[in-house]
Structure 1
Amino acid sequence: MTTLSSLNAATTLALTPLVSRVNPTAEADTDVSSLASLSPSAIVTIPSASGLAVLQTYTPEGTLTATAPVLSWASENSDAVSLRMMGNYAAQTMAGHFAGLGSALLDRFKTTGSDYAQSISISSTTGLAPVGQGAGSPSGQIGLTIRTKSGVTVEIALGSEDGGLSVSIKSSGALSESERNALAKLSDGFQQAIDGLSAVPPKLDLSGLAQFDTSALAAVNFHYTVTGDGDENISASYAQDSSARSLSVTSAAGTMNVKVDTSHSALWGTSAQRAASVASYLQQFDHANSRGHGNAALMSMFEDGFAQMNEDYGTPSGETLPGAAYSPALQQSDQAMLTGLADFSASITDTSTSPNPMRPGEVDSFSYQVAQSTELEGSAREGKISQTQQSHLSASYHQALQGGGKPVLTSSKNSQNYDYVRIDDSAGSAVQMATARGVLLNATLTQSSEQNTRDSKYERGSLVSDVNTPRETSRSVDLLSMLEPLIDNGDATRDTAAWQQALSTIHAMILLNNAAN
């Protein structure tokens, strides 16, 4: 006669700890044999012991409990990178998954330039992913592609998906010792870029990548993407070579792009000039964001990216401004009338919203663009220089009548008391100069700005006023007339303190911030 053993006995069997993954079925079979010797009756365990280490039960919410994780490695796992992955795999955030992993990968190049791949995948003893680490969890992909001066391409990839981790390094050829060292020096910068974008809210920290060793490396391309994480989704990319830098970020908050043309080192000013110009632009960005009620976190990233990409352009090529090659004083005056920054274009756009259910066409929006372009004509003995800076702000927002904060708008007329403000601003600053045989022939500054503000006021849903307020300013300055007295009395040639003070005054005047505000 065949009988079923009690479920208590089966439960006892199923709770036997799993001490080896080599042959769990054999372990279970041994336990079944010992139990069978206790009774002539056939024993059937429910569930079957084969392949199970823990009897699964369900929580009141319907999720599985006691799902002990099982780790599977792609290869031998005693190296430093694998040990880092072992410490990271159970983290519940992208920051935790990638903590120290990028720097650990690049540190390998201190001793070896060989290809490398490793992965760790996770499942429970039931064959199901542990809670929080299943197919519905966020995924992250990170890539760093480096091209050396000798033409070798190194591709580095990090991935986090379904709770597992994967890393790889592939090289198109053998690396020299100097190339390995240059890659290893990027380890901190690579990790800082990862940590910044993994933070909540995300931040940009690109300085370490931007300052790579140009004697050994020719180009760096970095990308970071997180999907499946709702409002925390983000995609970012940064590329740099000897002639250009570009940054792009897209998140739930909006998008931003910055491009810098570093192909003309004659435009690069001193570090003090660049710092002053960057500080002026950051002040202008803050003003635009405040005026247009933009997203503060996204603007902070935009400012960080702009500042870091213009912090240091590397070693100049020796190119000089046209017409200024044989006169140090002329080189100084020409440079003072330029920003000292490489030409660039930058934009930021917030994700638009429609907060008023009674007027969905009224959107809260913010879009800002800024750019600099320079034209150089002539030779070392004579030439013309023209540099233009431009900005444009387009924004709209709702503002409460009382207190000036965001109104709470519903379908009730009682909530419909607010200002709807639309802004359209533009500004420009242009410098033109001409030189010949070591003499500054002319130099002029032209600046203008236009501001248009339209304010529609509603009370209990009725439009009570609609006012458009335009504002225009413009000016033109003869910069040469400011310098001629100092040139005539020899201050320029002697490079006196008065000459340097005049140059600093002119440099502050030509910045776009003076036109925009």
Structure 2
Amino acid sequence: MSAISSVSVIQPQVVAKLAANEPAVSVTAATTVSSASTSDTVTLGENTRVPDAQTYTVRGLIANPDVLPAWEYTQQDKVSLNMTGNFASSGAASRFQGLGASLLAQLAETNKNISQSVIRSSTGKALEPAELAAAQAKLHSNAADNSISLTLKTASGKTVQLTLTSSDNGLAVQAQVSGGELTADEQAALGKMSDGFQSAIDGLTAKPPQLKLDALTKFDSNVFSSVDLNTRIQLDDKSIQTLELHADADGRSMRMSGASGDLDVSVDLKNSAIIGDANQQEKALKGYVSQIEAARKRGDGDAQLLSMFQDAFTTLHSDYPGTRAATTPQTVSSIELTQTDHGLLTGLGDFSASVTEKGKEGNPARPGELDSFAYKLSQSTQSKGRDQLNRSIVQDQQSSLVASYHKPLPGANKLDLSTDPASQNYLYYQINDQASSKTSIGYEKGALINASVAQTASQTTRISRYVMGHLESDTTTPLKSSKNQNFLHVLQQAIQQDKDAQLGRGTSRLKDTLANIQDKVLLQPDPEKLNG
């Protein structure tokens, strides 16, 4: 077997030639590397043979020991050694274990493009050159069973793209830089993201999946302008789980779809002036996470799906780029927001968020009775007036919950519905909730003339009780409440006290007043608590 002496940027025809010369190379291979911006060749090392760890083919047949997995290129490096250890395993979690981190770290260290794949024949016979080339091309494409793609755009205009793909009989990686060679600072920043990238992979391939995306949304904005993560994972039941994450200076978004349901969270950061300081953000996030948990309990939502929704909501709202310091003035359309303005707002960027479970027929005897859960949250902020002395701000918060589910009758052990009338003893819940909060702030000739919060909340609960398949009762309980709070007078007093304190007369209570108001600004979806 002859060693490959040198290669340049990987091309399909090169793959075919290598396949013809090396139909089944050893498993301790490594990636070919090439300059991200030139076509200079790189000398490769010698082949090292290690016995193949695979004994059986995926079809359960004893594999031909002379037919070893076919590698795209041969040379020892960290990525290929990582692939060697992972390839004997099955499942996305084990196949991608440590591979994202090693791929990103090697690119950051060498500043060279990377491409590697390893393919095992499913027939026990060596693949023909054309078959191998086709299999390699397919494995490097989106047609693979499992794929993970990370795209980073630098502030200088370059694009870094990393992909990991896996199928039953193959594992592949690529790392490419376009638009020029990475600078030392860009390499260093890239290297720092390796563990975060791997953490995201480990979470998405875990059982059950988890969202660990913090490091990807906290990228160095001085070096990178945007981050995109796209994944497609085939789960054990052959269902497909997909995720799309985008983050840049203007906003963040995440969409996830799987067998249990869909998540969609989007945060708008273009209006950065409305973002509060870290303490205000933390308080608002805790309030919203509590609301999500309350909605899960009321609508009998899937605990795992709602946990991921909470994680997504928290992650996308955490560590805003250029978070406002408590003393830093911010502007909207050249209008500076005051301490009073910020005290009447949530402190979070505008957003829309939704989680929807995949509806299913929960009762074979009554197909129309679905088990379902759909929950939405949103915030939008509008400002008017280009004059600092004459202006207004309106911030709207909205939430809705629509759910239905089956529960056993009180005292019953469990629910086991079937077409047998004897099993038809249950309660069927139908939930429909709505809530809104509107904060209005207005100034005229520099004086505060409006500082109010108007909130409404409604809940409708319908419970149908069935015994032996017969409807015994059907009750609907509506609850509705509203509250209008005017903070103008108390704020005018606090603002005047603050002015006097600055002149050495008395003590300012403005900060404490605003903190008390801030607790009352957040959306309150429970009618009973709204006026409590």
CA contact (8 A) 2:455 2:524 kept: no
**Alignment partners' CA distance in 2, 1:351 and 1:453:** 21
Q: Secondary structure at the match of 1:230?
A: coil
1:186 is matched by which residue type in structure 2? M
Tell me which residue corresponds to 2:519: 508
Distance 1:406 1:447, change over 3 A: farther
**Alignment partners' CA distance in 2, 1:99 and 1:208:** 18
Equivalent position to 2:243, from 232, 236, 243: 236
Tell me which residue corresponds to 1:64: 61
Q: Secondary structure at the match of 1:249?
A: strand
* Unaligned segments of structure 1, at least 5 residues: 1-20, 25-52, 130-134
Tell me which residue corresponds to 1:119: 117
Shift of 1:109: 3.6
Q: Secondary structure at the match of 2:283?
A: helix
1:417-453 Cα deviation digits (max 9, x unpaired): 1111101000001100112454322111000001111
Does residue 254 (structure 1) correspond to residue 266 (structure 2)? The answer is no
**Alignment partners' CA distance in 2, 1:251 and 1:23:** 38
Shift of 1:240: 1.0
Equivalent position to 1:161, from 162, 167, 171: 167
CA contact (8 A) 2:107 2:175 kept: no
**Normalising by structure 1, what TM-score?**
0.82
**Alignment partners' CA distance in 2, 1:440 and 1:421:** 47
**Normalising by structure 2, what TM-score?**
0.80
1:367 is matched by which residue type in structure 2? A
CA contact (8 A) 2:69 2:119 kept: yes
Tell me which residue corresponds to 1:213: 220
Q: Secondary structure at the match of 1:115?
A: strand
Tell me which residue corresponds to 1:146: 152
Q: Quick check: 411-420 or 429-438, which moved more?
A: 429-438
Equivalent position to 2:454, from 420, 442, 446: 446
Q: Secondary structure at the match of 2:340?
A: helix
Equivalent position to 1:194, from 195, 201, 219: 201
Instruction: Say how many residue pairs are matched.
Output: 455
* Unaligned segments of structure 2, at least 5 residues: 1-20, 25-50, 128-137, 139-143
RMSD after superposition: 2.9
Equivalent position to 1:172, from 175, 178, 192: 178
Does residue 394 (structure 1) correspond to residue 402 (structure 2)? The answer is yes
1:238-286 Cα deviation digits (max 9, x unpaired): 0111112110011110001000101011011011111110110000000
Matches within 5 A, 1:466-485: 466-485=474-493
**Alignment partners' CA distance in 2, 1:311 and 1:346:** 15
Equivalent position to 2:498, from 470, 490, 497: 490
Shift of 1:515: 5.6
1:170-196 Cα deviation digits (max 9, x unpaired): 222222222222222221211111111
Distance 1:408 1:210, change over 3 A: same
Q: Secondary structure at the match of 1:489?
A: helix
CA contact (8 A) 2:497 2:508 kept: no
CA contact (8 A) 2:116 2:173 kept: yes
Shift of 1:63: 3.9
Matches within 5 A, 1:351-370: 351-370=358-377
Does residue 77 (structure 1) correspond to residue 75 (structure 2)? The answer is yes
CA contact (8 A) 1:109 1:181 kept: no
Shift of 1:320: 1.8
Tell me which residue corresponds to 2:322: 315
1:292 is matched by which residue type in structure 2? G
Matches within 5 A, 1:27-66: 63-65=60-62
1:294 is matched by which residue type in structure 2? G
**Alignment partners' CA distance in 1, 2:80 and 2:115:** 10
Tell me which residue corresponds to 2:437: 429
Shift of 1:126: 2.5
2:229 is matched by which residue type in structure 1? F
Q: Quick check: 354-363 or 228-237, which moved more?
A: 228-237
Distance 1:236 1:128, change over 3 A: farther
**Alignment partners' CA distance in 1, 2:160 and 2:421:** 62
Question: How many percent of aligned residue pairs carry the same amino acid?
Answer: 38
**Alignment partners' CA distance in 2, 1:204 and 1:323:** 38
